């Protein structure tokens, strides 16, 4: 099995990643960044997001494992003091995997060129310095004229990130659905938006058409794009999934409780 250890640059992560690589090599694994079967990230959820984008052209061939150097994260099942147990789990690997939905993003720019992207958490379309005015369509049917800071479209696993800060619901990651949340919408006698999170079915898609496509910032997970005027952004559930090598299972709602409430500690 080919394994790669992908670390952030923090001291605790690089130390843990170094120790893990050494133990993996001693256990007979090929540790190499080219065509890995398993990518182990060492850091936090942000490190897993970076590894996902580094390897997003080969998602069907890779399983991810997250090791956290702090508290448990949403994409990280292991802690840095458990690397011996992780190496043992890899030695007994039977191809265990669990797949989660991703967000497919197709952008049409003003010059009619297109860009195709995939997000693990979410994508937002925002305007930083003035009101975003965008028409929103669901399945090609006009839905609303949005006025406000922006809109966020997230995956189920991304629902605990930016979307939650916008008042979105936490979705169980086994659901194949997208969620649209508003970022500071304007609602008065003139402008009206739904003013509630929307859950979009797997066979539906959402289109945003900015009134004039300039000065927009589009985010895709940790990335920002603001250099090209946008005509239209189309969001749907991606054909591909992200796969995790899940050697141990933590109940999703226990993870949510641990991250946001912490009452058991």
Applying CB under 6 A, the residues found at the interface with ligand NAD are 44-46, 49, 73-74, 121-122, 157-158, 160-162, 165, 221-222
Helix ranges, the chain (H):
11-26, 45-54, 83-91, 162-165, 252-260
CB of 87 to ligand NAD, least distance (A): 25
Spell out the residues 6+ positions from residue 220 whose beta carbon is closer than 8 angstroms to its own.
Answer: 105, 117, 119, 123
Position of tokens 């997208």?
178
β-partners of residue 124 are 152, 219
CA-based nearest residue to 133, from 176, 193, 59, 50: 193
Tokens representing 51? 């590894």
CB of 50 to ligand NAD, least distance (A): 7
Position of tokens 């937002």?
124
Is residue 45 flagged as an active site residue?
yes
> Residues 218, 107: contact at Cβ < 8 Å?
yes
Q: How far apart are CA 118 and CA 237, in angstroms?
A: 9
Which residue, 21 or 123, is less far from ligand NAD as judged by CB? 123
Which residue, 90 or 237, is less far from ligand NAD as judged by CB? 237
CB of 140 to ligand NAD, least distance (A): 28
Tokens representing 126? 């925002």
Which residue, 90 or 163, is less far from ligand NAD as judged by CB? 163
CB of 64 to ligand NAD, least distance (A): 13
> Residues 181, 166: contact at Cβ < 8 Å?
yes
3-state helix, strand, coil in the chain (%, to 5): 20, 40, 40
CB of 221 to ligand NAD, least distance (A): 4
User: What's the number of CA atoms in the CB half-sphere (13 Å) around residue 127?
Assistant: 19
The one catalytic residue among 45, 77, 80, 149: 45
Residues annotated catalytic, as ranges: 45
């Amino acid at each position: 099995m080919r394994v790669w250890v992908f670390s952030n640059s923090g001291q605790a992560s690089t130390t843990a990643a170094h120790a893990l690589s050494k133990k993996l090599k001693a256990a007979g694994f090929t540790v190499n960044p080219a065509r890995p079967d398993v990518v182990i990230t060492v850091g936090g959820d942000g490190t897993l997001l970076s590894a996902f984008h580094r390897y997003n052209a080969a998602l069907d061939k890779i399983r991810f494992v997250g090791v956290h150097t702090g508290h448990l994260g949403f994409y990280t099942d292991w802690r840095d003091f458990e690397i011996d147990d992780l190496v043992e789990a890899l030695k007994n690997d039977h191809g265990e995997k669990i797949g989660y939905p991703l967000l497919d993003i197709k952008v049409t720019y003003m010059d009619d060129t297109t860009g195709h992207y995939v997000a693990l958490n979410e994508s937002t379309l925002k305007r930083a310095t003035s009101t975003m005015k965008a028409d929103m369509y669901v399945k090609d049917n006009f839905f609303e004229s949005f006025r406000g800071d922006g809109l966020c479209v997230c995956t189920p696993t991304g629902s605990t990130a930016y979307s939650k800060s916008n008042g979105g619901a936490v979705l169980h990651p086994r659901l194949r659905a997208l969620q649209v949340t508003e970022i500071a919408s304007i609602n008065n006698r003139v402008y009206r938006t739904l003013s509630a999170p929307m859950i979009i079915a797997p066979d539906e898609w959402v289109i945003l058409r900015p009134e004039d496509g300039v000065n927009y910032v589009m985010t895709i997970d940790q990335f920002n794009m603001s250099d090209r005027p946008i005509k239209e952004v189309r969001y749907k559930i991606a054909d591909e999934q992200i796969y995790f090598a899940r050697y141990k299972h933590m109940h999703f709602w226990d993870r949510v409780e641990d991250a946001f409430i912490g009452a058991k500690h």
